[in-house]
Structure 1
Amino acid sequence: MMDTVIVGGGIVGLFTAYYLQKKGIKVTIIDKGNFTESCSTGNAGMIVPSHIVPLASPGMISKGIGWMFSSKSPFYIHPRLDKELIKWCYYFYKASNVSQVSKAVPVLKDFSLQSKALYLDFQTEHAQLDFSLQPKGLLMLYQSKAAEVEETAFASLAQKSGLNAEILSKEEAQKLEPNQELNIRGALYFPDDAHLDPAKLYGLLKTVLIDSGVRLIPETVVTGFEKWGRKVNKIISDKGSFTCNNLIICTGAWSGALAKNLGFTLPMIGGKGYSFLQPNLSNLKQATILTEAKVTQSPYADFVRFGGTMEISKPNTEINLNRVQGIFSSIQKYYPGLSVVFPEKKAIWSGIRPCSPDGMPYIGPAPGYDNVWVGAGHSMMGVSLAPATGKMLTDLLVGKKVDPVLHHMLFDVDRYNK
């Protein structure tokens, strides 16, 4: 029996393999990297059912235009004459409206809650594995009146959608972070969110897959496909060819290029983010978003990870120190007593988030094929949504009926081909 081949060894690809092998399906994962570091390993590690509004939303365009004039801002599009970028920006503009967001909110909420439940199941099933899953919720700290108005409105939307959301005073937020002074006006708290160590999770999940017989093929670049009718039967690479029973594309920001090779359109662009570690000397407790700065803070026992920025550029992992400086300079604005040291360049992590124009992932069958599937385009939600994505792709592949509320048309892989 030929293997189901997953191209892409990030967290979405690994969780898809995890659920496939539980169904007794033979799986091979091919990746251009070495299965040690990816966009899945150095991010904030947040599991966020609270993130019910996609990146493409009302107000993002005007904010983005303002941010583009600062090299240290949270969001930046590197201007260039690029047909794919222009097309992506046009689709982003079309999707940034109230109607589109109102459709997305319940879908993202239900999908995220399922993903969190699957994380808890995974933790229970593999209780011997420690990937620092901490169900302590998420604090969104704000300093300005304008941010307070926005966060209060967001809390109301979340509550109407069935999520737990609380507006906290400075004093109430301080009780959740007792070891470090907070310089804030207030906070929004989502008690049902969580965070984990993404590098630990990635390494442990990889070990589980290897132990279960999943084959990992590193440092192999897919260059083409051999097709027969409505099926792909062979994957061509720089290391030879691989026959397959089914093909699943989970290559993140590079998925659009593979889709083009297969003959369909999958608008995708890379959004670079940065992060760095600091010793957790003040014993920070709470996973946090510094709202105005769009910076994340994820604490663990011995260290804390700070991250942020969305730099729309050609996929590469080059370090722009101005972007990192923007993250660094915001930290003491919110934590005035926190001792932080600007990291050495070699200690800075960067990863490329796969961004669809409407902020919704592509999950499901590829147009024109009977044995090709896609799981990509999760933007900043890759770790958060990976289990639910892998479970859904597995259910679709084996023909199991999937809840239509979860497998919504907003995830349709074919939506930009119509």
Structure 2
Amino acid sequence: MKKGTVVIIGAGIAGLSTAYYLVNQGWNVQIIEQNTLDNNCSYGNAGMIVPSHFTPMASPGMISQGIRWMFDKKSPFYVRPSLNFNLMDWGFKFMRYANKNHVSAHVEPLRDLNVYSSQLYDSLSQDSAFNFELEQNGIMMLYKTKSVEYEEKELAKRAQELGLDVEIKTAEEMQALESGVKIDILGGILYKCDGKLNPMKLMKQLVSYLKSRGVIFHEQTKVKGYNILGNKIKEIVTDKGNYAGDEFVLCPGSYLMELTNKLHLKLPLMPGKGYSFMYTPPTHVKLEHAALLLEAKVAVTPMDGKIRFGGTMELGSPNNKIYKNRVEGIVNSIPKYLKNLSVDYPKQDIWYGYRPCPPDGLPYLGRTSKYDNVTIAAGGGMMGLSLGPAMGKSISDILSNRKIETNISVFSPDRFG
């Protein structure tokens, strides 16, 4: 029995996950996507499932580190100079939240949402319709400096206190995990609680599954506004017609503010541009685990017989440019950690996308009190793929009046007023 019609804006991992759980609970689902189904941030990311990321991006030390990085165009973090009001407002809010109290108040909700999402990925992988290279074998955090060693060991101890499966290892112990790659590091942390998958396969399989269950996709369809009656949206107005529904879910990634401004909702967010590319290693080189090269902030993920490298966080107005120095920063960092990987600057197929980053480093998840039929699942930032299933399942539970498995109150879309 169909429960009604849900219109979802956005076909990234949050939107597709929401559709997956809703259609399996009996809802009629339509998805509006302003791009094509193979062109969003969920396809080109590092494919990491990260309960290890239990601290929000707005944390102590990020401001001073960010200021140092701003003067290096190849650095992991860069703010492109601009008089953009949204960027300045975002920056002031970020500074307000980058403190110990903010981090302490949110480590457990972030841990719980990530762990829950990891469990949902396990369940999804048991469905015969899916085979997206899920491996829950851990992620290696590799560091080369004493200062990062101290920070990471303290973080690992906190993770252990939070009940996560984490091991602090010497350089020799980390090397023992990877016989096919020569690692040059001071030491590392193995977050055994983490995992990885192939995001391209996952997204394509989700789309195929949803189409087989009757979900209707409206690609290359841009939202222009809303027809509202009282406290309810009645229709989404697009450049290809209007779409009516009983419930509306906003999962538009970095386009969130563009859509919520039209509803007079305050959900500050900046797009954080990141790059990735695929590398085919020599036959004698094989990487078993995903890894983060910590000082460089570069993600390394074995994927479909290749390796995906990704990184950088570039805040500023969106554009279609590939800045060579940003990609060079990734390429140049690789042999500093992985000695026998000779990676040249990629001549083609450099991917870029925009991570949706709220200024407090927390996702937006739940109903907004200003409308009776609007829920939001967006703003996962660098945890977007990791949090996708938990965000989608939470939204479907809200709409179906079921118990939500984790405490999502701190992620309220109303928290900025």
Q: Normalised by the size of structure 2, how large is the TM-score?
A: 0.97
**Structure 1 residues 317, 170: closer, same or farther in 2, change over 3 A?**
same
> Residues 40, 301 of structure 1: CA spacing in aligned structure 2 closer, same or farther, 3 A cutoff?
closer
Q: Quick one: distance in 2 between partners of 1:359 and 1:69?
A: 23
Matching of residue 181 in structure 1 with residue 145 in structure 2: no
Aligned-residue RMSD, C-alpha: 1.1
2:116, 2:390 within 8 Å by CA — same for their partners in 1?
A: yes
Q: Percent identity?
A: 43
Aligned pair partner of 1:106 in 101, 108, 113: 108
Equivalence for 1:220? 221
Q: Deviations over 1:134-169 (max 9, x none)?
A: 111000000111111111111111111111111111
Matched, 1:25 2:27: yes
1:288 maps to a residue whose letter is: A
Q: Which amino acid aligns with 1:199?
A: M
Report the CA distance between 1:318 and its aligned residue: 2.1
Paired residues for 1:140-179 under 5 Å: 140-179=141-180
2:91 aligned partner: 89
1:8-407 to structure 2, matched below 5 A, reads 8-126=10-128, 128-281=129-282, 282-344=285-347, 346-403=348-405, 406-407=406-407
Deviation at 1:301, TM superposition (A): 4.4
- Contact 1:165 1:191 survives alignment (8 Å): yes
User: Which ranges in structure 2 are unaligned for 5 or more consecutive residues?
Assistant: none
CA–CA distance in 2 between the matches of 1:89 and 1:407? 27
Contact 2:248 2:374 in 1 (8 A): yes
Distance in structure 1 (CA, Å) of the matches to 2:178 and 2:68: 32
| 1:280 Cα deviation after fit | 3.0
Measure how far apart 1:12 and its partner are.
0.5
Aligned pairs for 1:399-418 within 5 A: 399-403=401-405, 406-417=406-417
Aligned counterparts of 1:98 and 1:170: Cα–Cα separation in 2: 30
Give the Cα–Cα distance (whole angstroms) in 2 for the partners of residues 260 and 373 of structure 1: 15
TM-score, structure 1 normalization: 0.97
Work out whether residues 368 and 414 of structure 2, in 8 Å CA contact, stay in contact via their aligned partners in 1: yes
Amino acid paired to 1:140: M
Task: Count how many residue pairs are aligned between Structure 1 and Structure 2.
Answer: 413
Look up the equivalent residue of 2:294 and give its one-letter code. T
* Mapped partners of 2:342, 2:318: distance in 1: 33
Shift of 1:341: 1.9
Supply the AA of the counterpart residue of 1:150.
E
> 2:271 aligns to what SS in structure 1?
strand
Q: 2:365, 2:408 within 8 Å by CA — same for their partners in 1?
A: no
| Structure 1: unaligned runs, 5 residues or longer | none
Q: Which residue type is aligned with residue 365 of structure 2?
A: I
CA deviations on 1:213-266 (whole Å, 9 max, x unpaired) are 111110000000000001000110001111111110000111111111011111
- 2:329 and 2:278 mapped to 1: Cα distance? 15
Which secondary structure does the structure 2 equivalent of 1:262 belong to?
A: coil
Tell me the CA shift for residue 43 of structure 1.
0.5
SS at match of 2:289: coil
CA–CA separation in structure 2 for the residues paired with 1:408 and 1:385: 12
Q: Output the amino acid matched with 1:328.
A: V
Matched residues in 1 for 2:369 and 2:358: separation?
Answer: 17
Alpha-carbon spacing, 1:203–1:301, altered in 2? closer, same or farther (3 Å): closer
User: Offset at 1:314?
Assistant: 1.3
Distance 2:159 2:320 in 1: 35
Contact persistence 1:4–1:247 (CA under 8 A): yes
- For residue 53 of structure 1, report the CA deviation from its aligned partner: 0.7
**Residue 339 (structure 1) shift:** 2.2
